[in-house]
């Protein structure tokens, strides 16, 4: 288990990995990542930045002394990798969709094997969600025009997400030279 884990740590470190970036910019980007699921305050992001500076995961860029541009250290890059591999339920137990989305957003900050592992986990979880949804839907009553519209929309959303992750996973497997582990798309 990773110590000091949170969705805010991953967001701050992930954003700073593209640095040098100002602290105000980190806060603005963090708020814009998945606003429908997670809206951190500027003070929360500021506290996370300070904690990561103190832990040596971030450092101030020397070229920007006046406005505190930040960069991720080598230790910070390892922390990003650990946070990506961490189950999303541990990053944000009350904001699981946000944790999954933020992990997905920062896969570019890590090595291809880690990205492949995380994508595989996302794909399997979505396939389980779709299967569970289909089983629940089959047990429910079929009455109600709007209920049926909603159920159909939800099934299409899950199927679309599974297909999308299959494509992304296949592209990642091919980029890693692992085309034999490319998955078959959902029919």
pLDDT by residue (tens digit) across 139-179? 766 667 777 777 778 878 888 888 887 787 777 666 666 65
Q: pTM of the full predicted structure?
A: 0.77
Say if residue 56's pLDDT is above 80. Answer: yes
Please tell me the predicted confidence (pLDDT) of residue 3: 42
pLDDT, mean of residues 84-91:
90
* Cα–Cα distance for residue pair 75/84, rounded to 1 Å: 14
Backbone angles phi, psi at 185, to 5 degrees: -65, 150
Please tell me the predicted confidence (pLDDT) of residue 169: 73
Report percent pLDDT > 90 for the chain.
34
Please report which confidence band the pLDDT of residue 57 belongs to, taking 50, 70 and 90 as the band edges: very high
Please tell me the predicted confidence (pLDDT) of residue 8: 93
| pLDDT tens-digit map of 15-51 | 999 878 888 899 999 999 999 989 899 999 999 999 9
Say if residue 185's pLDDT is above 70. Answer: no
* Cα–Cα distance for residue pair 3/82, rounded to 1 Å: 10
Please tell me the predicted confidence (pLDDT) of residue 142: 65
pLDDT, mean of residues 104-123:
88
């Amino acid at each position: 288990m990773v110590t000091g884990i949170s969705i805010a740590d991953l967001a701050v470190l992930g954003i700073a990995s593209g640095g040098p970036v100002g602290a105000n910019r980190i806060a603005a980007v963090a708020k814009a990542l998945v606003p429908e699921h997670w809206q951190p305050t500027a003070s929360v992001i500021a506290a996370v930045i300070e904690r990561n500076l103190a832990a040596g995961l971030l450092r101030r860029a020397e070229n920007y002394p006046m406005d505190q541009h930040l960069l991720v250290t080598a230790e910070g890059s390892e922390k990003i990798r650990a946070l990506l591999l961490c189950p999303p339920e541990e990053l944000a137990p009350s904001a699981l969709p946000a944790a999954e989305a933020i992990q997905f957003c920062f896969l570019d900050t890590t090595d291809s094997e880690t990205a492949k592992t995380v994508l595989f986990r996302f794909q399997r979880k979505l396939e389980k969600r779709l299967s569970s949804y289909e089983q629940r839907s089959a047990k429910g009553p079929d009455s109600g025009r709007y209920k049926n519209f909603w159920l159909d929309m939800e099934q299409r959303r899950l199927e679309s997400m599974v297909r999308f992750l299959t494509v992304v996973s296949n592209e990642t497997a091919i980029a890693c030279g692992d085309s034999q582990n490319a998955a078959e798309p959902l029919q």
